[in-house]
Amino acid sequence: MAPFIRLNQVSKSFGPVRAVNAVDLEIDQGELFCLLGASGSGKTTLLRMLAGFERPDSGTVEIDGQDMAGVDPADRPVNIMFQNYALFPHYSVAKNIGYGLVRQGVSGQALQDRVDELLRMVRLEGYGSRKPHQLSGGQRQRVALARALARRPKLLLLDEPLAALDKKLREDTQFELVSLQEQLGTTFMVVTHDQEEAMVLADRIGVMDQGGLVQVDRPRTLYEKPVNKFIADFLGSVSFLDATIKSQKNDHVQLDMGGGVISALAEQTFDKGDDVTVAIRPEKITLSRKKTSGNCLKVTVEDIAYTGVATYYRVLTEQGQMLKIHQQNSPENAPLDWDETGYASFQAQHTIVLTG
């Protein structure tokens, strides 16, 4: 089956700036896809090209098997929920939601029924006659969502859908959005700079940097098997250690840390003496006073932050490399003190060997 949405070598420049650079992307029908990137990474330009507001310099955009070149935003089976919602301030909630339907020629009872249905869907029954400025931020967000879904788009683009909400509301809304998407089966594409939001929402995440798609994968794969340092660093917390390849046997490599030797798992093939970077997530490391078998590095505690559930350590290895450790405050983990020497141990499968 052909993918529902296909971007083929899509590029777009603004003057000398290459905003989107040769992006290939395929999204399945009914998927909740997240485009994640810092500001200026090109994610908004990509979104605007899907909606039709920007024309790609080269490459093609296909939606449901149709080439979208030359199709006006008004005619695309795509709708956007805009950042800051872009509600029409002079129209009531019902007229905002009905705007797209009226353009389609829906009127009378059919229009009212559909608007009522949408109001019910976003739990805003009885708010139809209010003006947008009489609503709270969360309610406005739901009006924007209902308005964007009114025409039953094949693809709904959500531009930073939760950025304008406060933290508490954001968490609830995240789950609402996911369940709504599952219920409707519409393909959603969320654009966000918030990695946590992307992890919670998405079936798959595409991480963008400097106009290019760096990695597209499920959240877990992205977190545990990042393709390079950028991805590892962008998602969650991580420590990087410099090392040299000592030997490799299948996917087991021995790494020289300039003092100790650790073993790690790697899918790539290396030569002896290759310089690599080892990435380790702070929650995958155990810190104790006793030396253990397996990967174990002698470290000195530099800094401690107690957060209640866990203690965050920053420790230095004998080679002076910094390592972050998040340790649960459970009874078997005896806390270490400032400047105390301990052993940081971790399993080979929890290391990520990166070349870039």
Partner 1 sequence: MFRRVPYPIIWLGILGFGILYIPIVLMMIYSFNDSKLVSVWAGFSTKWYLSLLNNDQLLAAVGKSLWVAVWAATISTFFGVLIALAFTRFGNFGGRLALSVMASAPLVMPEVVTGLSMLLLFIAMETFFGWPAGRGLDTIIIAHATFGMCFAAVVVQARLRQFDLAVEDAARDLGARQPQIFLTITLPMIAPSVIAAWLLAFTLSFDDLVIASFVSGPGSSTLPIVVFSKVRLGVTPEINAIATIMIVMVSICVIGGSLLMSKRNKHD
Q: Are the beta carbons of 185 and 30 closer than 8 angstroms?
A: yes
Minimum CB–partner distance for residue 95 and partner 1 (Å): 10
CB of 182 to partner 1, least distance (A): 24
Residue closer to partner 1 (CB basis): 38 or 86: 86
Token pair, residue 343, equals 């052993």
Single out the segment in contact with partner 1 by CB under 8 A; choices: 83-91, 244-252, 255-263, 278-286: 83-91
Shortest distance in whole angstroms from residue 148 CB to partner 1: 8
Q: Binder to partner 1 among 37, 42, 56, 100 (CB under 8 A)?
A: 100
Tell which one of 9, 60, 66, 104 touches partner 1 (CB under 8 A). Answer: 104
Instruction: For the chain, list the strands marked E by DSSP.
Output: 5-14, 17-27, 32-37, 58-63, 66-67, 78-81, 155-159, 187-192, 204-209, 212-217, 239-249, 252-256, 261-265, 275-280, 286-288, 295-306, 310-317, 322-328, 341-346, 351-354
Q: Tokens 């019910």 — which residue? A: 120
Closest approach of Cβ 347 to partner 1, in Å?
Answer: 49
Is 139 among the residues that bind partner 1 (CB under 8 A)? no
Rounded to the nearest 5°, which phi and psi values hold at 234? -70, -40
From 70, 90, 249, 309, residue interacting with partner 1 (rule: CB under 8 A): 90
* 1 binds partner 1 per the rule CB under 8 A: no
Strand order in the sheet with 5-14: 17-27, 5-14, 58-63, 66-67
Query: CA 96, CA 144: separation in Å to the nearest integer?
Result: 8
Q: Which two tokens stand for residue 310?
A: 């866990």
Nearest to 188 by CA among 153, 218, 216: 153
Residues 109-138, interacting with partner 1 (CB under 8 A): 133
Nearest partner of 148 among 101, 196, 215, judged by Cα: 101
The yes or no reply on residue 89 touching partner 1 (CB under 8 A) is: yes
Measured CA distances, 265 to 165, 207, 325 (Å): 41, 24, 20
> What is the distance between the alpha carbons of residues 148 and 37, in angstroms, rounded to a whole number?
23
> In terms of CB distance, is 87 or 214 closer to partner 1?
87
Interaction of residue 143 with partner 1, rule CB under 8 A: no
Return the residue of 78, 143, 241, 325 that touches partner 1, per CB under 8 A.
78
108 is an interface residue for partner 1 by CB under 8 A: no
What's the chain's length in residues? Answer: 356
CA angle 136, 171, 190 (to 5 degrees): 90
Which listed residue (86, 110, 261, 305) binds partner 1 by CB under 8 A?
A: 86
| Least distance CB 98 / partner 1 (angstroms) | 10
The stretch near partner 1 (CB under 8 A) out of 73-81, 191-199, 319-327, 343-351 is 73-81
Q: How many CA atoms lie within 13 A of 63 on its CB side?
A: 23
14 touching partner 1, by CB under 8 A: no
DSSP structural state of residue 134: G
147, 170, 281, 326: which one contacts partner 1 (CB under 8 A)? Answer: 147
Question: Least separation, in Å, of the C-beta of 46 and partner 1?
Answer: 16
Complex with partner 1: residue 91 or 343, whichever CB lies closer: 91
Does 15 engage in binding with partner 1 (CB under 8 A)?
Answer: no
Q: Compute the least distance from the CB of residue 134 to partner 1, in Å.
A: 10
Residue 150 binds to partner 1 (criterion: CB under 8 A): yes
141 binds partner 1 (CB under 8 A): no
φ, ψ of residue 349 to 5 degrees: the values are -75, -10
Binding site for partner 1 (CB under 8 A): 51, 53, 72-75, 78-80, 82-84, 86-90, 99-100, 103-104, 133, 147-148, 150-151
